[in-house]
């Protein structure tokens, strides 16, 4: 939009996604309902995994900041296994190498052998917003608008929700 390639009135929120916490399938689920409970869960865990912040991924950078904000980054460093992607996180958690995994919720949803505990507490959450945008150079603006409109229907919203995101 800043470069004039899209207009603000030609965009629509399609979905929102947050960072979630997962454990091995059937394992006890830690209380992560508040920032203090999340902090206790992290300190009590024998090992955790989250996306390597060096790779530039949003969730890894955010989790590193959360641990720092909670004042536990140094304590957590020795028991942290950084992963490269959600599949690696799922494997680490499912295999027992990491007791707790953190990643984008929709990336955890299709992974077998893990249970999603839930999202980070709202005070610690980083919500990603996904937009549909009609570019100013679109050949068929009506078709573009129809697609975005379809992605905002109750039917599409049900699929978005089933995939771990909140509909726009």
CATH of domain 19-124: 3.40.190.10
- Which SS3 state, helix, strand or coil, does residue 126 take? coil
pLDDT digits (tens), the chain, 168 positions: 888 888 888 899 999 999 999 999 999 999 999 999 999 999 999 999 999 999 988 999 999 999 999 999 999 999 999 999 888 999 999 999 999 999 999 999 999 999 999 999 999 999 999 999 999 999 999 999 999 999 999 999 999 999 999 998
Domain boundaries, the chain: 6-15+128-167, 19-124
β-partners of residue 82 are 50
Alpha helices for 48-85 (secondary structure H): 58-69, 73-77
């Amino acid at each position: 939009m800043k470069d004039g390639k899209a207009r603000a009135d030609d965009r629509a929120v399609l979905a929102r996604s947050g960072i979630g916490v997962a454990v091995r399938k059937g394992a006890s689920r830690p209380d992560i309902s508040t920032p203090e409970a999340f902090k206790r869960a992290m300190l009590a865990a024998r090992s955790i995994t989250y996306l390597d912040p060096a790779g530039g991924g949003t969730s890894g950078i955010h989790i590193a900041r959360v641990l720092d904000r909670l004042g536990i980054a140094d304590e957590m460093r020795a028991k942290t296994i950084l992963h490269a992607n959600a599949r690696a996180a799922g494997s680490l958690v499912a295999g027992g190498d990491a007791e707790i995994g953190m990643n984008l919720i929709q990336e955890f949803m299709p992974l077998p052998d893990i249970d999603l505990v839930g999202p980070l507490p709202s005070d610690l959450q980083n919500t990603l917003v996904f937009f549909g945008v009609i570019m100013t150079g679109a050949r068929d603006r009506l078709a573009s608008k129809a697609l975005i409109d379809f992605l905002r229907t109750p039917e599409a919203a049900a699929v978005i929700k089933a995939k771990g995101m909140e509909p726009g």
